[in-house]
A and B are shown apart, each in its own frame.
Chain A
Amino acid sequence: MLFCHSPSGTVVPCSSAGRAPRWAPVRRVASAMLVGLTLLGGGAGVAQAQSACTVPLASSESIVRFLTQATFGPSKDEICRLARLVAREGSEAEGFEAWIDEQLRLPVTPLADHFDPDSGNLQHARARRFAWYEAAVGAPDQLRQRLAFALSEIFVVSDKDGTLSRRDGQVGLQRYYNMLLKGAFGDYRSLIGEVSVDPVMGHYLSVVRSQAATAADGPQPDENYAREILQLMSIGLDMLRPNGEPRLDRDGNRIPTFDQDTILAFARAFTGLNYDLGEPDDNPCRGWGGRGTDFTRPMVLCERYHDADEKHLLAASDRSAVLPAGQGAARDIEDALDNIAAHPNVAPFLSRRLIERFVTSNPSPAYVRRVADAFNASGGRLGATVRAILLDDEARSERIANRSYAGKMREPVLLVTGLWRAFGGSLAGLDPRVAAIEPFGQAPQGSPSVFNFFQPEFQPAIDTTGERLPAHILSDGLYAPELQVMTELATIQTHNDLRLLIHGNAARVPLAFDDELALQRQGAGPLVDHLDQLLLAGTLSDALRLALLEILESPASNRDWPVRQRLYDALYLVVTSPEFAVQR
């Protein structure tokens, strides 16, 4: 049904307006104005007048879009900060660049220690997730936080593992995450160096206490980490061109990056790693063969169980593929990681993985190439890589953002953090034991396997968009990774979770709606414009606009449908809509 504005400003079905042309279809009230969004900022009951700002409508859309990509969701304070930078620098492009550079210089906000040693496994899991949400929503170093989350979906460890689900494991998972936070802007080679000797990874992909074979038909080294670091964390399965497209051989076939022998060689290079069960000068072989673990310190090297023979690694790498015999475990591991990091696939492979996490599921090869170039030019620095990702024309162009397949889906936790950050939500001071922070269909560091919650190449089995849109996911060869977790079941659960975060549940994170209530008093139009700007970067569809106006202007009595509930309901309709689920 089409809705129209009546002359008095209320919304009625267009059909009841007959054919009277004076009732124009509903339009955005502020569409041609430069007054735009007024943001008062601050949390409930906290006066933060300094963050109040007025952003010209045209800028607010690109600012909100940028912050949706670069943070856990645009907060009013961050919108104002970026608006001031844009004003100071004189252009959006320079303002965004200044914001990124500011972010690159901010100190790390590590996840806070909320673990209660006297509590059990489940409370430890809760404490870890609470700390994660607390930082995602409240930490000033948003770009680093968002990048660490992206890295946690590439260098995957998960508490779905039995050992890591327990207390020590949960504490270890958080320390691992803090390691990702710390190294997020640094270089790739250093990061895989830390990941490869981390005891949480050591356990998760069972490289810890993998030992050299003593007989040809006896036990061989564990191949798990060797395979997955190659397949998922560095070079992938196919040889790539610098733009991320697969290289093809003369017959048009893809060229594998490695075979089983390569994996076994890496597995041999990674032998001898042990938990650090003692003082630094203690015997690093202590506890080998036992069940003792340590998730607090990097693994140590036990030469006795390291494979000392020569190893042949990735020949396509720019660094030597041959590890000479007898050079020791430490040198073997360093050389093996050098061999991986210098493989030409790393730049396009990792660039594409990161673009998918920040901007779009379907980058053009040229975009991947530009980011890969930035990766290489910076010596593999991830901060510089993300800078290139966010400032690229393909990330910034509104023309591209308006395509029917632009951007990506917001995964469930991003829906939640987006809602919270928009309305001053903060977990500071809440009780980690009871706050409503889960499950949201996804828990950080809680994926079912090392293949993350979803896979980059996911395509649904069928195109359901029919003839309605000019492009299709499957038949046009597009990808939609996040759709993998958005099943019938998940759509309902996510919807119901979001309802509780807005309407229900005493344990919910408190949100501040002072600005919105003030706008609501001015009329439905200004409030809808504001929600459009703040949550959807100005992309609100006519259909959703009409639905919101209908709610806000329903003739139902105030007793039956109180004003404040209408605001909540309008917000609920926005955040549960398919529009909010997409990050363009």
Chain B
Amino acid sequence: MSNATPSRRQFLSGCAALGAAGASATLANLFHVSQAVAATSSATDYKALVCVFLLGGNDSYNMLVPLGGAYGDYLTARGTIAVPEAAAIPIGTAGYAGRTFDSRAFGLHPALGAGEANGGLSALYADGCMAMLANVGTLIEPVRDVDDYQSGARRLPDYLFAHNHQQLQWQTADGSPGGQGAAGWGGRLAQEMVRHNANGGTLLPELSMNISLSGQHAFLGADSVIPYTMSASGIERLALPGAEGSVRQATLRRALLGLLGVPNHLMGDHLAATKQRADNVAELLSGAYDATALDTTLYPAESSLGAQLQAVARMIDVSRNQLGVRRQIYLCTLGGWDTHADQNARQGALLAELGQALHAFHASTRAMGIGAEVTTFTASDFGRSFNSNGDGSDHGWGGHQIIVGDAVAGGDLYGQVPELRLGSAMDTGRGRFIPSTAVDQYAATLARWFGATDLATVMPNLASFGASDLGFMAG
């Protein structure tokens, strides 16, 4: 936090101060780096953004529950999928008092406090290391209310409520319908960082600035950015027949790599280029990656997201300390959020997993001394219908998101929570609420923190909306 501007937010939260000093001392033994890594450590300027995409559409109206006077409308709309008011974990109102939420009280889903080992996300919120952004979603231009929505005067995102298209639009957010192959804003951000400062990007042509732990998604790609996709279980190398060092193995390796450079077929060549990159990175990094040692005790057991975030932590360690990389953007995903049915059990388990994984990852970054250099944030296809379908909820539009890190002005809510009532001004039907904040603004706030100066290049449709800094980043 050396050169961050002190803000009101930091006074309130104290997260950053705790992160830099107190916590890292107590957590120092969490992260056992190898001698070599320890000796060469310390890139001075490092930042990572970690996107956790919740595939399927998180029902965030159960992640952040209205308490007190507004609870009645909530219960009416949600019925059996409502979080009991007494079970929600109340969050202090001090942070947002005087802004749009005054006199409105909220609580977190009880599963966000789960985890005997780490206390989940509610602990991070209380410590000021986590913020929430309310009712953010895909927009082409602001839509004031449901009359505005129905007027035909507003350009609306194509294919609202469809998983694949809304995922794409969340990840591309350039004011267009965002078809396949469109650049993701993580990709554009990486491009921008490289363009303005070669040293701000990766120093290695072999390793992309953008790394996915969960397959190919539009978010990380752009014209000149080919994301690297790796596994949560590590960096696997090509296995070759024959003994190490034998003529046989050497001949086969030379032959198969040689073939990757020979033009043959459009798709085959794309595959060949991918395989070539995979081999380059594996040969370069698999040894160093394997040598990292991470204390995994805080991570939830048998959690896909936990495993992905552990791998991110190890990859950050290797990239930053051994490769001198200074900017990275990661993508992790967690599926299963399309809770049309059995929502109480399914979403509860997912939120517990999410909370514990994010909490553990935050601890890992602190143990590495970079709690304020890594910001983790969530995204999801859409929010869900506020109206229940009996034991679940259906596809919606705006929803709330989580931002975690020591540079976050946490312990606070940002954006605007719509009036959570069926038939309210922002309800397009069944409580599919119009987003009051655009993904573009959310992304721009993160991009500015990341160091982008030309925000209009990263988020070309940003000018259509109001604030380009939503205030949730302190550092």
Q: Provide the bound-state CA to CA distance between A471 and B270, in Å.
A: 12
Q: Provide the bound-state CA to CA distance between A391 and B268, in Å.
A: 25
User: Which of chain A's residues has its CB closest to B240's CB?
Assistant: A499
By a CB distance below 8 angstroms, the chain A residues around B159 are: 237, 256
A221, A406, A460 — most chain B CB neighbours (10 Å): A460
By a CB distance below 8 angstroms, the chain A residues around B161 are: 227, 260
The verdict on A474 contacting B241 (CB below 8 Å), with A206-B341, A461-B227, A469-B263 known, is no
B258 near A547 with CB under 8 A, answer: yes
B86 beta carbon closer than 8 Å to chain A = no
A464 near B270 with CB under 8 A, answer: yes
User: Which of chain A's residues has its CB closest to B346's CB?
Assistant: A162
By a CB distance below 8 angstroms, the chain B residues around A483 are: 267, 270-271
Interface residues of A in 432-472 (CB under 8 A from B): 448-449, 451, 455, 457-465, 468-469, 471-472
Stretch at the interface among A89-97, A334-342, A554-562: A554-562
Q: Provide the bound-state CA to CA distance between A408 and B271, in Å.
A: 12
Query: B402-419, CB under 8 A of A: which get 1 and which 0?
Result: 000000000000000000
B269 near A464 with CB under 8 A, answer: yes
CB distance from B175 to the nearest CB of A (A): 16
By a CB distance below 8 angstroms, the chain B residues around A550 are: 251, 255
The verdict on A578 contacting B389 (CB below 8 Å), with A496-B236, A568-B241 known, is no
Q: Provide the bound-state CA to CA distance between A256 and B158, in Å.
A: 9
By a CB distance below 8 angstroms, the chain A residues around B248 are: 554, 556, 560-561, 565, 569
By a CB distance below 8 angstroms, the chain B residues around A88 are: none
Interface residues of B in 129-179 (CB under 8 A from A): 158-159, 161-165, 179
Interface of A is mostly: loop
A563 beta carbon closer than 8 Å to chain B = no
CB distance from B377 to the nearest CB of A (A): 21
B251 near A554 with CB under 8 A, answer: yes
A576 near B180 with CB under 8 A, answer: no
A249 beta carbon closer than 8 Å to chain B = no
Sampled A-B contacts (10; CB under 8 Å): A162-B336, A219-B79, A260-B429, A404-B264, A460-B181, A488-B277, A489-B278, A551-B255, A573-B255, A573-B259
By a CB distance below 8 angstroms, the chain A residues around B423 are: 217
Q: Provide the bound-state CA to CA distance between A237 and B390, in Å.
A: 27
The verdict on A579 contacting B180 (CB below 8 Å), with A219-B390, A220-B389, A465-B270 known, is no
Range of interface residues on A (Cβ < 8 Å): 35 or more
A569 near B252 with CB under 8 A, answer: yes
CB distance from B46 to the nearest CB of A (A): 23
A560 near B247 with CB under 8 A, answer: yes
B266 near A465 with CB under 8 A, answer: yes
A459 near B335 with CB under 8 A, answer: no
Q: Provide the bound-state CA to CA distance between A91 and B256, in Å.
A: 38
Interface residues of B in 236-250 (CB under 8 A from A): 236-242, 246-248
CB distance from A391 to the nearest CB of B (A): 24
Stretch at the interface among B34-42, B94-102, B216-224: B216-224
Interface residues of A in 531-584 (CB under 8 A from B): 541, 543-544, 547, 550-551, 554, 556, 560-561, 565, 568-569, 572-573, 576-579, 581-582, 584
CB distance from A497 to the nearest CB of B (A): 9
A511 beta carbon closer than 8 Å to chain B = no
A286 beta carbon closer than 8 Å to chain B = no
Query: B268-297, CB under 8 A of A: which get 1 and which 0?
Result: 111111110111011000000000000000
A52 beta carbon closer than 8 Å to chain B = no
User: Which of chain B's residues has its CB closest to A557's CB?
Assistant: B247
A218 beta carbon closer than 8 Å to chain B = yes
B222 near A462 with CB under 8 A, answer: yes
A405 beta carbon closer than 8 Å to chain B = yes
B371 beta carbon closer than 8 Å to chain A = no
Q: Provide the bound-state CA to CA distance between A581 and B258, in Å.
A: 16
Q: Provide the bound-state CA to CA distance between A206 and B395, in Å.
A: 13
B260 beta carbon closer than 8 Å to chain A = yes
A131 beta carbon closer than 8 Å to chain B = no
B229 beta carbon closer than 8 Å to chain A = yes
B66 beta carbon closer than 8 Å to chain A = no
A128 beta carbon closer than 8 Å to chain B = no
CB distance from A560 to the nearest CB of B (A): 6
CB distance from B164 to the nearest CB of A (A): 6
A461 near B270 with CB under 8 A, answer: no
A493 beta carbon closer than 8 Å to chain B = yes
By a CB distance below 8 angstroms, the chain A residues around B225 are: 461-462
A582 near B56 with CB under 8 A, answer: no
CB distance from A268 to the nearest CB of B (A): 11
Q: Provide the bound-state CA to CA distance between A554 and B252, in Å.
A: 11
A171 beta carbon closer than 8 Å to chain B = no
B265, B267, B278 — most chain A CB neighbours (10 Å): B267
The verdict on A223 contacting B340 (CB below 8 Å), with A237-B162, A405-B265, A569-B241 known, is yes
B interface residues, Cβ below 8 angstroms from A: 55-56, 76-77, 79-80, 158-159, 161-165, 179-184, 187, 212, 215-216, 218, 220-231, 236-242, 246-248, 251-252, 255-256, 258-260, 262-275, 277-279, 281-282, 335-336, 338, 340-341, 346, 385, 387-390, 392, 394-395, 422-423, 428-430, 432
A58 beta carbon closer than 8 Å to chain B = no
By a CB distance below 8 angstroms, the chain B residues around A480 are: 266-267, 270
B394 near A223 with CB under 8 A, answer: yes
A491 near B252 with CB under 8 A, answer: no
A16 beta carbon closer than 8 Å to chain B = no
User: Which of chain B's residues has its CB closest to A561's CB?
Assistant: B248
User: Which of chain A's residues has its CB closest to B246's CB?
Assistant: A560
User: Which of chain A's residues has its CB closest to B429's CB?
Assistant: A260
By a CB distance below 8 angstroms, the chain B residues around A568 are: 241
User: Which of chain A's residues has its CB closest to B221's CB?
Assistant: A461
A211 near B390 with CB under 8 A, answer: yes
Closest 5 CB pairs of A and B: A461-B221, A459-B181, A488-B278, A487-B229, A206-B341
B338 near A449 with CB under 8 A, answer: yes
The verdict on A206 contacting B340 (CB below 8 Å), with A224-B394, A551-B251 known, is yes
A211, A459, A492: the one within 8 Å of B282 (CB) = A492
Q: Provide the bound-state CA to CA distance between A223 and B349, in Å.
A: 23
A78 beta carbon closer than 8 Å to chain B = no
B180 near A458 with CB under 8 A, answer: yes
CB distance from A211 to the nearest CB of B (A): 6
B265 near A578 with CB under 8 A, answer: yes
Q: Provide the bound-state CA to CA distance between A573 and B226, in Å.
A: 26
A217 near B77 with CB under 8 A, answer: yes
A478 beta carbon closer than 8 Å to chain B = yes
B266 near A464 with CB under 8 A, answer: no
User: Which of chain B's residues has its CB closest to A555's CB?
Assistant: B247
B163, B265, B282 — most chain A CB neighbours (10 Å): B265
Q: Provide the bound-state CA to CA distance between A106 and B197, in Å.
A: 65
By a CB distance below 8 angstroms, the chain A residues around B241 are: 499, 503, 565, 568-569, 572
B76, B163, B389, B432: the one within 8 Å of A451 (CB) = B163
Interface residues of A in 479-515 (CB under 8 A from B): 479-480, 482-493, 495-496, 499-500, 503
The verdict on A581 contacting B268 (CB below 8 Å), with A474-B181, A547-B259 known, is yes
Q: Provide the bound-state CA to CA distance between A331 and B271, in Å.
A: 50
Q: Provide the bound-state CA to CA distance between A488 and B208, in Å.
A: 12
A578 near B255 with CB under 8 A, answer: no
The verdict on A492 contacting B275 (CB below 8 Å), with A461-B226, A579-B268 known, is yes
A491 near B278 with CB under 8 A, answer: yes
Q: Provide the bound-state CA to CA distance between A457 and B392, in Å.
A: 30
B238, B260, B266, B275: the one within 8 Å of A405 (CB) = B266
Q: Provide the bound-state CA to CA distance between A274 and B212, in Å.
A: 41
A210, A448, A455, A572: the one within 8 Å of B335 (CB) = A448
By a CB distance below 8 angstroms, the chain B residues around A357 are: none
Q: Provide the bound-state CA to CA distance between A217 and B159, in Å.
A: 25
